[in-house]
Amino acid sequence: MPAQTALPEPLRARPVPRPGRWVSGAIVLVLAAMVVNALVTNPNFRWDTVWLYLRDVNVVRGVGWTLVLTFGSMAIAVVLAVLLAVMRRSDNPVMRWVAWCYIWFFRGTPIYTQLVFWGLISVLYPRLSLGVPFGPELLVFDTRTVITAFWAALVGLALNEAAYLAEIVRAGLGSVDAGQAEAARALGMPESKILRRIVLPQAMRVIVPPTGNETISMLKTTSLVVAVPFTLEITYATSAIGSRTFEPIPLLIVAALWYLLITSVLMVGQHYLERYYGRGVAGGPGGRRRNRRPSRQAAIRAAGTTRDDPFAEVTP
Amino acid sequence: MSDVQATPMVEARGVHKVFGHGAEGLHVLRGVDLAVPRGSVTVILGPSGSGKSTLLRCLNELEQITAGSVHVDGELLGYREDAQGVLHRLHPTRIAAQRSRIGMVFQRFHLFGHLTALENVMEAPVQVRGLSKRAARTRALELLDRVGLTDRVEHYPAQLSGGQQQRVAIARALAMDPELMLFDEPTSALDPELVGEVLTVMQDLAASGMTMVVVTHEIGFAREVADHVVFMDDGAIVEQGPPAEVLDRPSEPRLQEFLAHVL
């Protein structure tokens, strides 16, 4: 029997009636409209005040400081986290133990408490000195001038975040098939290059989504630096205006709207990062397992090395 | 000169490998002696669990041997023996340098998933040899052409069929100009119709004079390409010799049984 190549008339059929979908959709839409209505029409929210202070110079400056704290602490935290994750995988038991203790301590105590302590560091240690333990001092600093409120806030946030990120990086490194490192080893690549060139880039696919999550979380956590106290970021800036003008609610909304806007921008950035690190993975970025096989299948077919039989299951 | 020619490319003596420690340790290799002459093709056959893959992995230090010695190109692998006969473990960078002269092809390809076929082949020459990107690229394109993949250079591994991935893996190993190529069941993960393309590339490679050690179940390949066939069982070499002898007139009952199952 000759193979049929011309596509016949595609099947046309009436869909299954699903009245439940329409009803549930309508109910949810009505509920959503009620929420929007309650927000927009309530005069207590003072939307005119919100709009006015949204562009206030102190508020915008607060946004700037919040961004500096967020990205600064995340940058430090990422570097530290990779270091900690590598230490946890080290053959050296001292390295493993120190990394474990670091993560145990910084995840195990509240960030607020940690920030208070960083704020108090100049009281606890008025002088910072570099030297031999129990021996002579080589370099001496006055703590107050070296660690200002800003640096205390930045370092406090970074050290705490590094502990969480270290676990994310460790999970990412563990997700890369051991065969990748082995193949690189067989080619004569040194271990440091295997990590940097082969394992880490592939681990990024697993590391980026939760790290994006952590960044968004960090954006809001920066409001806790009032514990240091550092008082220039957006939450403190807006609440200061709010208590001065006796309008706390509209200014809370101002801060919330700014957080929402920055989060939206971050989500876009995360999308592109995920796409970049998802390259080479069948099923595209995110690589949902469900999608994986068909696209692998399609790729193999497209490669044209297999027999031209649409019913052949090709397992790569 | 004749002395250099006489030194085998690979010389394994009394190799033992135990995984784990003490009484629970798994004794996988039990005193293997193997000599692979330069430019020859040695095929290692044996039932699964016979230690043939482990032996191969010991030939480039992916596994550290428990006892015995492995020389590749006259050089002791993994150790340095001083004048008093004391062994010193080599620094990892020295071991990496030794490995860089030995190519390895894996059953499951292990192509770098985040790099294209071309980048996969370029990676080691650039990162290990310090070759310029331009030179590495030219060489990589040559090698990909040699394995018949000129039109797939920009594809990622996931976009290639198993046979194509394995051919890229061979090109990747060849990019380091190895003097020895190890193949660990290179066709076992492939669909039957894709086995041929990989075996053809290996056959061409053998014809070009490359020293090869191949762990495989492809008896046909052993018969046609191998100079020397080694049959392993239970961690030891049971029988070895030219393919015509070992495959057609096996003397060991265990080999006879194995061949009866495979053929």
C-alpha distance from residue A30 to each of A22, A23, A35, A41, A43 (Å)? 12, 11, 9, 16, 22
**Within-domain flag for A265:** yes
Instruction: Give CA torsion, residues B25, B31, B35, B36, to 10 deg.
Output: -30
Q: What is the pLDDT of residue A285?
A: 41
Query: Between B158, B163, B169, which is nearest A299 by CB?
Result: B158
Could you read off the pLDDT of B148-172 as tens digits, one per residue?
A: 999 999 999 999 999 999 999 999 9
**Within-domain flag for A288:** no
Q: What is the pLDDT of residue A280?
A: 77
Q: Residues of A with CB below 8 A from B111's CB?
A: 183
Q: Please, what is the end-to-end C-alpha distance for chain B in angstroms?
A: 42
- Is the CB of A187 less than 8 angstroms away from the CB of B60? no
Q: What is the mean pLDDT of residues B78-84?
A: 93
Q: Are A49 and A247 in contact (CB under 8 A)?
A: yes
Q: Residues of B with CB below 8 A from A193's CB?
A: 127-128
Q: What is the ipTM of this complex?
A: 0.93
Q: pLDDT higher for A28 or B3?
A: A28
* CATH number (domain holding residue A90): 1.10.3720.10
Q: What is the pLDDT of residue A77?
A: 97
What's the distance, CA B142 to chain centroid? 22
* A289–B contact, CB cutoff 8 A: no
Which of the listed ranges A129-143, B132-146, B246-260 does the model predict with the highest average pLDDT?
Answer: B132-146
Q: What φ, ψ does residue B149 adopt, rounded to 5°? A: -125, 30
Chain A nearest-CA residue for B188: A316
Q: What is the rounded CA–CA span in Å between residue B200 and residue A15?
A: 53
**Within-domain flag for A29:** no
Could you read off the pLDDT of B224-252 as tens digits, one per residue?
A: 999 999 999 999 999 999 999 999 999 99
Q: What is the pLDDT of residue A4?
A: 63
- Is the CB of B60 less than 8 angstroms away from the CB of A296? no
Q: What is the rounded CA–CA span in Å between residue B259 and residue B100?
A: 35
Q: What φ, ψ does residue B18 adopt, rounded to 5°? A: -120, 125
- pTM, rounded to two decimals: 0.82
Q: What is the mean pLDDT of residues B113-132?
A: 96
Share of chain B above pLDDT 90, in %: 91
Q: Chain B interface, mutation test: which of A90, A187, A194, A300, most B Cβ atoms within 10 Å? A: A187
Widest pairwise Cα distance in chain A: 95
Q: Residues of A with CB below 8 A from B97's CB?
A: 188
- Residue A22, token pair as written in the block: 């329409």
**Rg of the Cα trace of chain A?**
27
- Is the CB of B113 less than 8 angstroms away from the CB of A190? no
Q: Which residues have a Cβ under 8 Å from the Cβ of A64 and sit 6 or more positions away?
A: none
Query: Between A185, A190, A279, which is nearest B114 by CB?
Result: A279
Q: Residues of B with CB below 8 A from A191's CB?
A: 92
- Is the CB of B197 less than 8 angstroms away from the CB of A302? no
* A280–B contact, CB cutoff 8 A: yes
* Structural domains counted in chain A: 1
**Residue range(s) defining the domain that contains residue A176:** 47-130+140-278
Low-confidence residues of chain A: pLDDT under 50: 284-297, 300-301, 304-316
Chain B nearest-CA residue for A301: B161
Q: To the nearest whole number, what is the mean pLDDT of chain A?
A: 87
Q: What is the pLDDT of residue A130?
A: 83
Q: To the nearest whole angstrom, how far is the Cα of A189 from the nearest Cα of chain B?
A: 6
Query: Between A189, A277, A300, which is nearest B96 by CB?
Result: A189
* A196–B contact, CB cutoff 8 A: no
**Within-domain flag for A235:** yes
Q: What is the rounded CA–CA span in Å between residue A95 and residue A87?
A: 5
Quick one: CA dihedral A106, A108, A114, A117, positive or negative? Answer: negative
* Per-residue pLDDT at B43 exceeds 80: yes
- Is the CB of A188 less than 8 angstroms away from the CB of B194? no
Q: What is the rounded CA–CA span in Å between residue B19 and residue B64?
A: 10
- Is the CB of B113 less than 8 angstroms away from the CB of A280? yes
What's the distance, CA A222 to chain centroid? 14
Cis (ω within 30 of 0) for the bond into A229? yes
Could you read off the pLDDT of A296-305 as tens digits, one per residue?
A: 445 544 554 4
Q: What φ, ψ does residue A262 adopt, rounded to 5°? A: -65, -40
Q: To the nearest whole number, what is the mean pLDDT of chain B?
A: 93
- Is the CB of B99 less than 8 angstroms away from the CB of A201? no
Chain A nearest-CA residue for B193: A306
Q: What is the pLDDT of residue A314?
A: 42
Q: Chain A interface, mutation test: which of B98, B110, B187, most A Cβ atoms within 10 Å? A: B110
| Amino acid at position A93, single letter | P
